[in-house]
Amino acid sequence: MNTASIYALLSVFVVSLVSFVGILTLSLHSRFGKSMLHFIVSFAAGALLGDVFIHLLPEVAAEGKFTAQLSWVILATIVIFFLTEKLIHWHHHHDETEESKQTHHPVALLNLVGDGLHNMIDGLIIGGAYLVDWKLGLATTVAVVLHEIPQEIGDFGVLIYAGLSRRRALFYNFLSGLTAMVGVIIALTLKNTENIATILVAIGIGSFLYISVADLIPEIHKTRDKIWVAFIAILSGIGVMAALLLLE
């Protein structure tokens, strides 16, 4: 097993551990907790955009592999993320309005499946980034960890709403997070496939663009009285990605 593979597996394991951050929902009812979550979401949006425009896109361009086909991969990733998210939200709201339901366990199952697929894609993206360069892999891991924090908090809240105990919600959320290991193993297994690393980087570009623009930034807009906090947090996220360029 080479160094890139070891780094990729360790990085994805760290990403899986982020699933335990859901316990923070217990302290988010305070004013300080909500402010912190607002900062984290804004910071994550900046980090994702920074990773796309400072690391992923320049890397593909430097390799001379940014083709029309790669643009289609990015576009297809955005569309697939949109359809997947709409399906999950439709089922979620449908189950909420079913008065005959005594529990919301179908919502929990659907959320875990959707989150599992998302985590597996994160694993594929991280694996593909490490196959290109360890610095690209590290930057992508940081971006994934940052956007996973608000997502996992939300997922934990959904599982609690569905009727699971806190302990079971954390356990199932962690199992869902481990699907990232499946993704990175698939990426490393396919490493000798032609252009696979570039394709996975393109999927990362599409997914990060969608998550930041369609999910995180709309959440930031919901809090109208903290524009400077959001602005500084976004710039800070971009700054972290820029600082990673200093790694040798």
Question: Mind listing the pLDDT tens digit of every residue in the chain (248 residues)?
Answer: 788 889 999 999 999 988 888 776 655 556 666 677 788 889 999 999 999 999 999 988 887 878 888 999 999 999 998 888 777 665 555 555 444 444 455 567 777 877 888 889 999 999 999 999 999 999 999 999 988 887 787 777 777 767 778 888 888 888 888 999 999 999 999 888 878 889 999 999 998 999 899 888 988 888 776 788 899 999 999 999 999 988 75
Q: Are 118 and 126 in contact (CB under 8 A)?
A: no
199 is a domain residue = yes
Q: Is residue 42 part of a domain?
A: yes
Does 203 reside within a domain? yes
Residue 22 resides in a domain: no
- Look up residue 99 and give its DSSP letter: T
Establish if 174 belongs to a structural domain: yes
28-37 long-range Cβ contacts below 8 angstroms, 24+ apart: 28/153, 35/226, 35/229, 37/150, 37/153
pLDDT (0 to 100) of residue 102: 45
The answer to whether residue 170 sits within a structural domain is yes
Three-state DSSP class for residue 200? helix
Q: pTM score, two decimals?
A: 0.79
Q: What is the pLDDT of residue 153?
A: 77
In contact, 174 and 163? CB cutoff 8 Å: no
Dist CA 55 CA 240 (whole Å)? 12
| Cα–Cα distance, 182 to 113 (Å, whole number) | 14
Asked if residue 3 belongs to a domain, the reply is no
What residue numbers bound the domain in which 54 lies?
38-97+109-246
For residue 100, the SS3 value is coil
Let me know if residue 222 belongs to a domain: yes
Number of structural domains the chain divides into: 1
Question: For the chain, where are the alpha helices, taking DSSP H only?
Answer: 3-17, 31-50, 57-62, 68-96, 105-132, 134-161, 166-177, 179-189, 196-210, 217-221, 227-243
